[in-house]
Amino acid sequence: MGQRASDRSRPRRHLHRCRTRRHPRRPASAWQTRRRRRHRRRVRIMADPRSGRKWFEFTTRYWEQFGEYNPPCALCGEIVNTSIRGRLNPWSRSVDHIIPVESGGKVYDLNNVQGVHRLCNTSRGSKPMSEFDTPKKRQSFRKVVEALAVVQEVKREHTYVTAEITETPAQQRPWAPWGWYSSNEGVRPNGEYYYKCCDQKPTNTNILHECPKQAL
Q: Can you give the pLDDT at residue 194?
A: 55
Contact of 160 with 173, CB cutoff 8 Å: no
Which residue ranges in the chain fall short of pLDDT 70? Answer: 1-29, 31, 35, 38-39, 41-51, 154-216
Tell me how crowded residue 12 is: count the other CB atoms within 10 A of its CB. Answer: 9
**Inter-residue long-range contacts of 204-210, CB under 8 Å, 24+ positions, other chains counted:** 204/179, 207/160, 208/151, 208/154, 208/155, 208/179, 209/147, 209/150, 209/151, 209/154, 209/160, 209/161, 209/163, 210/160, 210/162, 210/186
Helix (H) or strand (E) holding 33: helix 30-46
Q: Can you give the pLDDT at residue 103?
A: 80
Q: Can you give the pLDDT at residue 154?
A: 66
Q: Can you give the pLDDT at residue 176?
A: 43
Domain ranges of the chain: 25-133, 146-216
Helix (H) or strand (E) holding 198: strand 193-198
d(CA 13, CA 35): 20
Q: Can you give the pLDDT at residue 113?
A: 94
Q: Can you give the pLDDT at residue 204?
A: 41
